[in-house]
A and B are shown apart, each in its own frame.
Chain A
Amino acid sequence: MLGRLIRLLNRREARDLRALVAWLCAAAALQGVALALTAPFFIDLLAGRLDAALGWLIAVVAATGTFVAVQAAAQLRAFRAGIQTARALHHRMADHIARLPLGWFSPDRTGMLTALNTAGIPALASYPALLLRPLATAVVTPAAAALALLPVDWRASLAVAVCGASLAVVARAAGARTRRVDAQRHAAADRAAHGVIEFANAQQVLRANGAARRPHELDAALVGAYQVNRRAAGAMLPGIVGFSFALQIAFAAVLGLGVLLILRGGLDPGVFLGVTVVVARLAAIATTGAELGVALRMNAGTVDRIAQVLDTAPLPEPRPATSIPAVDAGRDLVAEFESVSFRYDSTPVLHDVSFQLPARGLTALVGPSGGGKTTVTRLLARFWDVSSGSVRVHGRDVRDIPTDELLRELAIVFQDVYLFDGTVEDNVRLGRPEASEAEVAAAMELAALTDLATDAGRAVRVGAGGALLSGGQKQRISIARAILKAAPITVLDEATAALDPENALVVQRAITTLADRGSVLVIAHQLRTVEAADTILVLDQGRIIDQGTHEQLRKRPGIYADFVRQREAAESWAFR
């Protein structure tokens, strides 16, 4: 995981992290040497050679002192490197998020990004100091001790090396087993979590059906998770005790062999005891290392998810040097789709779509749901790039226009209105921060934000995501924002406004005003909107199958005539 982490860093942070690893390994090796030196000390001490023992003691203290100095220095570097790494990752994330295609942001992914930045990356700040250090100790210290024991007794050295290597294998296997069981537990827990979310979202229905207190599906999922957990209790055991079992066996084997050798006269008891003192400490170090598994796995998961985000390619930005075709000022055009086809995850969505947006006027998109209306508006704003053909704004392919510049030309009223935690006025002004008082007032008035147009109203805080306002109010603020921006092209979807006749009227009035000032592309649902449109584009199964004005289209049998008939019937329907 260290390698994967280093790959994500800039050269300087990567270099610091590598240097840190060298420091930690050096400290661990010094500890191994200091430990090994206690073996000859105890051999002499127990044999009653106190003078010789004093000599070894001085060596032990010197080695330990060096170890302490190096380890302390390494640990301070580890704190610094951890924070530096986390900071660098946060900055890379901040940069990268701004450059990701807008189409990338699904609710799942935004949730993942939030968790990653709030909990995952801060946790990584402690990774070098709290995890990397004991890991280095667990691996390097026994190895160094084994080497340093070589002059004392080659058999002891060999025994430590063999035991260390086999325990490392057991630790890995136990970890892999725990990981598998954990994965099963998480899968069951995720099913239960989905059940919980559904339970929360469907409360009205559940209660009205008298089923809220007996949510069978959810309970089945919970019981499923319980059963997996119960089974896991058994399946976990080899992982939990596997290592300590192996350690006990290794320790017993070393002791047993030593005792056998002593009894056969092949080993001096004093040497055996001196070595045993060291081996007991190495066993303790190995145990500490084996307990790091869970935390290391969590950090590895964080690094993988960060890599997944950072490896997502941003939409290519044109280089500043790109030659810009002359703006086609002669024609009264602001944007144009030319033979645009688009596939999303290899599913064809649009085929050979061509149309033009005039500099002024209302263009309405009509057609059955799933026909590609939303995709058309998103390609215009370059949420994604077309698969073939070209989307042009002011005569330039959108792929040749820097994102900032392209988005200056567009005002978008999104279906999911998102407001920032600030005041009503802050959120309206987002459209054009330098707008005058009068312009803000006019935009709010046109968006029928009369209840919030007062000084007090403008200062109302909207809460995170606009949680403190009603759906209608949020919708109107986002319309006021678009009006204030006064971009050459405005894109909006009537669908969300359709439920509420008051909002529908506001949207319609705004559309008319904006169409006088610039070009408006609207996904239309209301009869009045299409009647007022200069051009209606009828979209079905990803193709433009007809276009014209209301008067022209309504007379031809087809999707548009059906749409008008259905709308008329629906709008005149009444109970009884």
Chain B
Amino acid sequence: MISSALRRLVRPVAPLLVAAVAAQALAAAATVVPLIALASYAAAWLRGTAHAASPTPALVAAASAVASVLLTALAGWLSHRADARLQLLLQRQLIAHLARLPLGSLTSRGAGRIKKTVHDDVGNLHYLVAHTILDVTTVVTAPVAALAYLATLDWRVAAVALAPLIAGVHLFMRAMSGSGANFVRYAQAQSAVNAAIVDYVQGVPVVKAFGRARSAQETFARATDAFHDFFSAWSRSTAAVTTASWLVVTPAVTLALFAAAALLLLAAGWSTPDAVLALALAGPAVAAPVAVVGPRLQAIRTAGSAAAAIVEVLDAQAMSWRTGTRQPADAGVEFDGVQFGYLGGPAVLHSITETLPAGSFTALVGPSGSGKSTFASLLARFHDPTGGAVRIGGVDLRELSEEQLYAHVSFVFQETVLLHGSIRDNLTGGREVGQDDVIRAATAAAIHDRVMRLPRGYDSVVGEDAELSGGEAQRVAIARALLRDTPILVLDEATAATDLATQSTIQRALGVLVRGRTVLVIAHRLRTVTAADQILVLDGGRIVESGTHHELLAAAGRYARMWAAQEPTMEGEPSCSAA
């Protein structure tokens, strides 16, 4: 019933849960005690010996009622503590593991799915851990205790008490038979509704603009109708037996049945008045749980699929980092027979062998989709090559520690994400850096004046009192790279082209940034990299040409054609390069 994934996940809080279950079981068993006391007084009254009854059963009953409530409270408190601890534990585990996954496997999941696993799925375990486990304990313990009590009085009475339970369970099993296949179909119908609503809602501007709102609406309505038709047929086919399964254990029905049995037992002289009274008082509790077992099963199923999703992430293959005993000899970069494909997909890069000498400026050009970003991301070890090796100063990236690698390489991306945190932390990445250095870098990146205009200067928090434009965020990223001061820099030229108003400042800042480093630039506009030491022309995942701007123009190949297409008015010579 409880999946292995679930068992594995809750293991760290198992002691707390066992304690909670024990407390809850005692609490549930204790609820029978007042009924026992009542029945014992009843026996005395029925024999006409009430005046001789001792107060002890009443006191025991009162004590166990109090104990039951306190134990229930204790169990709830323990299970909620276990739940809180488990959530934090799992979330930390997930975050730590996600951070070690290859970037490609992470981004292919998407932020939505990651949030679903770390937040929603872990949250879905809450109901199971904090509530359902205890509910199930009660559902099992209370009937067992009641039945045990009745059995000590009279086995015939206990047998009668079992009858509705057996009938209820039998009907419930019949209602559930074939439900596995139906649950699968239910999930399919539901995901069809999901796909239709996503298309309908996300695409609503487009469908409306192209006059297709009606057909998208109809597609969605069809999907929901199919869902309801299926659900309706399913519930029609099981409604009668499902209804019977809980009707047979409703208080009125069980009590009527026990009344009839009581009359029969007494009339035949098979039992005593106090035993049949105990049957009427405690008997209905034996079968009652059948009526509430459905939702509990559903809760366990939900938690099971949440646990499976969590385990899937935790078991995904992570990248390993070494302790980094070898130091790179210099800031040169080698791509040696590098092959790469995403997650078993077709190869995106084919046997690339190139050298970026220390301190050189290399430009990567090529049509969109040719693999430029993938090429650059290998240097960041966002992925590991599927064949060959990437080396810095002669050391394979896989031999370096994470700290070592990022002490050598820094990046300025096309889309800059600022983190929720102070501007200072965004600049330093949380490291200890002197204020003078921060200001120097920010000034060089032409962002210092802007920061000083924020309410709290460098302590302003992004998203709270610091709202920065895309161009400003990029200058923060450039200042960050300046502060990191790594010998190797990977940068996307498009960074310089997003925000018109700040473009020239960004371009100046980039000029400062690239000085004196090994630089790899992903270039979109060819004229920005005409002064590069070497230009690598990437097409279809292969380096098809390489050389300086003049060499490549002279070669009259792919690069020369790209140049002609982008600069139709030029004669092959950049006019404004400040080289």
A281 and B558 alpha carbons, distance in the complex (Å): 87
Contact segment of A211-219, A388-396, A511-519, A541-549: A211-219
Interface range, B side: 35 or more
A-B contact count (CB 8 A): 431
Cβ of A218 to closest chain B Cβ, rounded Å: 6
User: Is A261 in contact with chain B by the CB < 8 A criterion?
Assistant: no
Query: Of B115, B206, B251, which is within 8 A of A281 by CB?
Result: B251
Residues of chain A lying within 8 A (CB to CB) of residue B243: 71-72, 75-76
Q: Which residues of A contact B493 (CB under 8 A)?
A: 575
B201 contacts A105, C-beta separation under 8 Å: yes
Interface size class of A (residues with CB under 8 A): 35 or more
A102 B205 Cβ-Cβ under 8 A: yes
A321 proximity list for chain B (CB < 8 A): none
Query: Is the CB–CB distance between B566 and A501 below 8 Å?
Result: yes
Complex contact B529–A259 (CB within 8 A): no
* Complex Cα–Cα for A241 and B195 (A): 42
Roughly how many angstroms separate A481 CA and B410 CA in the complex, as a whole number?
40
Check B469 for interface membership: any CB of A closer than 8 A.
yes
| A363 at interface by CB-CB < 8 Å | no
The 5 nearest A-B residue pairs measured at CB: A233-B80, A229-B84, A572-B576, A209-B429, A269-B45
| B contact residues around A80 at 8 Å (CB) | 232
B393 interfacial by beta-carbon distance below 8 Å: no
Q: A575-B510, A575-B521 are in contact. Are A95 and B210 (CB under 8 A)?
A: no
Q: Given known contacts A199-B95, A273-B277, is B252 in contact with A35 (CB within 8 Å)?
A: yes
A217 adjacent to B421 (CB under 8 Å): yes
Nearest CB in chain A: distance from B82 CB, A: 9
Inter-chain pairs besides A34-B256, A76-B243, 6 sampled, C-beta below 8 Å:
A45-B259, A57-B259, A192-B91, A207-B103, A411-B209, A570-B504
With A216-B430, A241-B73 known as contacts, the answer to whether A64 contacts B406 (CB < 8 A) is no
Minimal beta-carbon separation of A241 from chain B (angstroms): 5
Interface string of B503-539 (1 = CB under 8 A from A): 1100100110010000001001111111110000000
Which residues of A468-512 have CB atoms within 8 Å of chain B's CB atoms? 470-473, 481, 485, 498-503, 505
Q: Which chain B residues lie closer than 8 Å to A500 at the CB level?
A: 368, 494, 524
Per-residue CB contact flags for chain A residues 209-249 toward chain B (1 = under 8 Å, else 0) read: 11111111111001101100110111011001100110010
Within the assembled complex, what's the spacing in Å between the Cα atoms of A119 and B514? 52
Proximity string of chain B (253-288) to chain A, C-beta cutoff 8 Å, 1 when within and 0 when not: 101100110110011000001001100110011001
Do A576 and B38 touch (CB < 8 A)? no
Residue among A189, A204, A408 having the largest count of chain B Cβ atoms under 10 Å: A204
Q: Which residues of B contact A194 (CB under 8 A)?
A: 420
Whether B369 is near chain A, meaning CB under 8 Å from some CB there, is yes
Majority-rule SS of B interface residues:
helix
Whether A87 contacts B419 in the complex (CB less than 8 A), given A248-B69, A574-B576, A575-B529, comes out as: no
Contact at B500–A102, with CB atoms within 8 Å? no
Pairwise interchain contact A200-B114, C-beta atoms closer than 8 A: yes
Q: Are B228 and A83 in contact (CB under 8 A)?
A: yes
Q: Is A454 an interface residue (CB 8 A)?
A: no
Can you name the residue of chain B whose Cβ is closest to the Cβ of A185? Answer: B126
Within the complex, which residue of B83, B110, B214, B494 is in contact with A98, where a contact is CB–CB below 8 Å? B214
B50 within 8 A of A: yes
Instruction: Report yes or no: A575 in contact with B95, Cβ–Cβ below 8 A.
Output: no
Contact yes or no, B247 A71, CB < 8 A: yes
Assembly CA distance A248 to B525 (angstroms): 79
State A318–B530 Cα separation when bound (angstroms). Answer: 59
Q: Which residues of A contact B577 (CB under 8 A)?
A: 574, 576
A216 to chain B, nearest CB (A): 6
Residues of B within 8 A of A125 (CB): 228, 231
**Distance of A240 Cα from B35 Cα, bound (Å):** 23
Q: Are A198 and B419 in contact (CB under 8 A)?
A: yes
- Cα–Cα, bound, A241→B532 (Å): 74
Q: Given A91-B221, A198-B419, A216-B430, is A420 in contact with B106 using a C-beta cutoff of 8 Å?
A: no
Whether B73 contacts A68 by the Cβ 8 Å rule is no
- Distance, CA A299 to CA B409, complexed state (A): 52
User: Would B210 and A430 count as touching, CB distance under 8 A?
Assistant: yes
When the two chains form their complex, are residues A499 and B494 in contact, meaning their CB atoms are under 8 A apart? yes
Q: A83-B232, A215-B99 are in contact. Are A570 and B507 (CB under 8 A)?
A: yes
Q: Is the CB of A229 within 8 A of B87?
A: yes
| A418 close to B202 (CB less than 8 A) | yes
Name the one of A79, A244, A368 contacting B236, with C-beta atoms under 8 angstroms: A79
- Asked if A102 contacts B208 (CB within 8 A), the reply is yes
